[in-house]
Amino acid sequence: MAAKEDLYAKVTPRRQRQTRPGTIKHGSTLDVLLSMGFPKTRALKALVSTGGKNVQAACDWLFSHVDDPFLDDPLPREYVLYLRPSGPLLQQLTHFWQQSRLACGKNKAHNIFPHITLCQFFMCADGKVDALCEALQTTVTKWKGRIPMPLPLELYTSSTFIGLFVEEQLAEVLKTFAADFATEAAAKADVHVEPHKKQLHVTLAYHFQANHLPILEKLAKNVDASSGCDWLAVLFSRDIRFANHETLQVMYPYVPQNDDELELVPGDFIFMSPVEQSSASEGWVYGTSLGTGLSGLLPENYVNRADESDTWVVHGSHSILNCASPLTSGSTVGGLLFDGHLNESLLDSLIDSPSLPGLCPPMQVSRSTSQSSSSKMRLFVCRHGERMDVVFGKHWITQCFDSKGRYVRSNLNMPSSLPARSGGHRDYDKDCPITVFGSTQARLVGEALLESHTTVDFVYCSPSLRCIQTAQNILQGLQLEGKLKIRVEPGLFEWTKWVSGTCLPTWIPPAELTAANLSVDTTYRPHIPVSKLAVSESYDTYMGRSFQATREILAECKNQGNTVLIVAHASSLEACTRQIQGLSPQNSKDFVQVVRKIPYLGFCACEEMGETGVWQLVDPPHSASYTWA
């Protein structure tokens, strides 16, 4: 076991791993993946497909793509260099995007975020991506201070197109910048980049209905093109196999009923090509999953149309105004990047409601300081660790349990033992445990809290086994295992609409959890008992339930301790913190967009503002945690 601990130790010390600003720099990350036994081609593909973020993201990708028939396909990804606006101009453009979509529906411009194209799409081998990122960094550094700001933009409209064009003289400067990048890319990465030769512009709308022109033109004239802006040179990539496919997003889970059907996980993306639909009957579509690489039939009403750029990966982002402070791969671009993937759908919710838990741009977060009163109540909300059924698929139970219900793990990332269940091992189908790596993740979060001298006075938990095991390991890292009991609160369970089938999971009762050496408080009386949970509850019911549970938990702990930890689900980071800040719930579509990007052990913190009963988001105390990009 000591050897396994040594292996995980290689994954965690992010603060010791220094990288060149603006590059993905796989380096030691690749070495760790190779030491874990992954072939180099697969390891590189995983790193590139996740933006070179970290070992955890690459491992997650590899585990989820274990059955991908194209996993060993040598076809490289396709890259492009864009200039992206930020600051007040981005807000202006985002407002235009919102208003035009509401007034006229979606047009072709909505498929990709506001940008200026600097080059055509080009190919780059996975092993050359580090060098390509270095080429961009070198080019940006060379051009520091040489591009006049702000960029002069002029509105142009026609019967089929509306855009903001860069003034010709300055456009030539940007084209020279792009040409220099092409030279560096050829020298460092041996790739051919074709700089954009047409007029440089930001597209506002195109391929719209003719009767929409007056409305769109009026909205475009309200955009103040002279608004303050820092332009970011951003390197994106996409899977070339799906460049001409329609992008769909999974809204509801689906368990296949036949061999030719595709399992659906909420938040995943599906690539659909019209030429592949001949095998699909009415109400069904044929597509390929971004999350697994598998293809199959799926019910059409389980997915919604998404934007093409939602599946793109960011490999480097650099300010051309302030080149000394580039954004590195895996950081946020305008607060909209998670796990290396761009989350364009979050734009709207950030503009309308900037106080999303754990997702706020730095200037919008109320930062806790050493001067903060020690008497203030704090609330931590944490997502569970890596789950077994996501890593090993829905058939892990049949692989690990024999005909007599005895468990034997078939992979070292599976726990060595599992709690006995009075209802039998089939109950694990809807109530899965966490992996060995998930347990390690959770323990490291606890250790980070301990290192930051953070105390936890109460722990509340969803009844899901994966959440209880995560809480137990966090307490172990905090050196509080056995000293602090976990209070199992059914009201903290996730939105029941996401539960497959017609009934809720059968959870392990507290007495049996205690018998399995889990530190559960068997005397705790839940605020919302299991009997109050309903299958397929509405979104409003779920948000109301989460708010009620959180509010009553905080009231229960008032004057008895300062810090409450809730360990639950990805959705809990939003559902348990939004309304205590005095904010109304956002619409369900935006809610899903936020939740799907929260990683395992995602963590947010809130602090009560005096005795007002109003809470505000603050920085989590364990900033060194590797679980956030």
Angle at 384 between CA 379 and CA 386, to 5 degrees: 155
CB 79 within 8 A of CB 123: yes
Q: Name the 3-class secondary structure at 81.
A: strand
C-alpha–C-alpha distance, residues 171 and 190, integer Å:
26
Whether 604 contacts 496, CB under 8 Å: no
User: 3-state class of 331 per DSSP?
Assistant: coil
Query: Of 65, 387, 466, 569, which one is the catalytic site residue?
Result: 569
pLDDT of residue 466: 97
pLDDT at 30: 86
pLDDT on residue 511 = 92
Residue 569 among the catalytic residues: yes
Q: Which two tokens stand for residue 559?
A: 């004057």
List the chain domain ranges. Answer: 77-318, 378-388+433-618
Each as own residue / partner, the long-range contacts of residues 28-35 (CB below 8 Å, 24 or more positions apart, any chain) are 29/54, 29/55, 29/58, 32/7, 33/58, 33/59, 33/62, 35/7, 35/10
Residue 345 confidence (pLDDT): 35
Ordered strands of the 295-299 beta sheet: 295-299, 284-289, 269-272, 246-250, 303-305
- Token reading at 610: 């005096």
Backbone phi and psi for residue 250, each to the nearest 5 degrees, phi listed first: -75, 130
**pLDDT digits over 262-316, tens only?**
999 999 999 998 888 877 888 899 999 999 999 999 999 999 999 889 999 999 9
Question: Right CATH number for 77-318 from 3.30.70.890, 2.30.30.40, 2.40.270.10, 1.10.645.10?
Answer: 2.30.30.40
Catalytic, out of 65, 378, 383, 387: 383
Catalytic residue check, 384 = yes
What is the reported pTM? 0.53
The token pair that represents 552 in the structure block: 């009553």
Q: Which residues of the chain have pLDDT under 70?
A: 1-27, 322-375, 611-613, 622-629
What is the 3 state secondary structure string of 167-214? CHHHHHHHHHHHHHHHHHHHHHHCCCCCECCCCCEEEEEECCCHHHHH
One CATH from 3.40.50.1240, 1.10.3720.10, 3.30.300.90, 3.40.50.970 for 378-388+433-618: 3.40.50.1240
CA dihedral sign of residues 198, 324, 146, 225: positive
CA distance 139 to 142: 5
What is the predicted pLDDT for the residue at 611?
Answer: 64
